[in-house]
Amino acid sequence: MAMLLFGFGWSGIVMALRGSGGSGGNFLLLVVLTALLGLGMLSVGYLISSFSAQSSAALGIAVTLWLGFIIIGDLGLMGSSLVMELSPATLLGLTVVNPLDTYKLLAVDLLQTSLNVLGPAGAYATDRFGSRLTPLLLALELVWVLAPLPLGYVLFKRTDIR
């Protein structure tokens, strides 16, 4: 979390010195959303390490899962939507299952004027959910933070530490 604040802090200083026309509130919002995504992935990592017998196995599973979120979320979903001609509703449903894509949707929703820049799925999300979209996406992102923690804790308490 410290490195996240360090990186965003330096970019904020550069933006301020250059007189960037961007909103400071939007910048802080992006920092908060990124921290929320980081906490979600930390929570998932805690769950993975709770049921893994070795730390190297936990690391391998976590990296594979992260790459899966990235590859499936971007390339897999894009290819699947073209090949299977997915409807915007199905595409949106598959998108919000992935915490990285939920983060992207939430960031674009809060920082842009509309999700139409994301194509048919973005337009569908705006039309279907309207003003409820932002709280819904935020709740989905919070699920990735809060759901794995108690499961990981229960598994961790059952583990005999030697």
Query: What pTM value is reported for the model?
Result: 0.82
Q: Could you give the percent of the chain with pLDDT greater than 70? A: 96
pLDDT band at 33 (very low <50, low <70, confident <90, very high): very high
99 lies in some domain: yes
Measured at the alpha carbon of residue 27, what is the angle toward residues 12 and 39, in degrees to the nearest 5? 100
109 lies in some domain: yes
39 lies in some domain: yes
130 lies in some domain: yes
88 lies in some domain: yes
Look at the chain and report how many structural domains it folds into.
1
Measured at the alpha carbon of residue 102, what is the angle toward residues 110 and 11, in degrees to the nearest 5? 55
Q: Which residues constitute the domain of residue 37?
A: 24-158
10 lies in some domain: no
